């Protein structure tokens, strides 16, 4: 790897999903002014997320599948030659 191109400010940061309250600790270079007390008793910088894998419809299995067959039938019915 090339020297001097990677950030040297990696530190532990808490990422918190604001939609469901799920939080996890990871290393990051993200800048933030807020802090939070973590489960181990230490205080870490806090990065607030709008959505994470615990609340995203794709990962939770609650995504809405479009009924393509029904839409095609509706289109054909609407624009069929009479």
Q: What angle do CA 16, 20, 24 make, to 5 degrees?
A: 30
Residue pLDDT, tens place only, 9-53: 889 999 998 888 889 999 999 999 999 999 999 999 999 988 877
Contact criterion met (CB below 8 Å) for 23 and 13:
no
Give this prediction's pTM: 0.64
**Residue 79 in tokens:** 């624009």
pLDDT band at 68 (very low <50, low <70, confident <90, very high): low
String of DSSP letters for 17-81: ETTT--EEEEEE----S-EEE-TTS-EEEEEEES--TTT-HHHHT-PPPP-HHHHHHHHHHHH--
């Amino acid at each position: 790897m090339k020297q001097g191109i990677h950030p040297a400010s990696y530190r532990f940061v808490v990422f918190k999903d604001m939609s469901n309250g799920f939080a996890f600790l990871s290393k990051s270079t993200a800048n933030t002014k807020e802090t939070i007390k973590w489960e181990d008793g230490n205080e870490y910088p806090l990065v607030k997320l709008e959505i994470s894998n615990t609340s995203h419809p794709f990962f939770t299995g609650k995504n809405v599948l479009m009924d393509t067959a029904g839409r095609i039938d509706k289109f054909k019915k609407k624009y069929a030659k009479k």
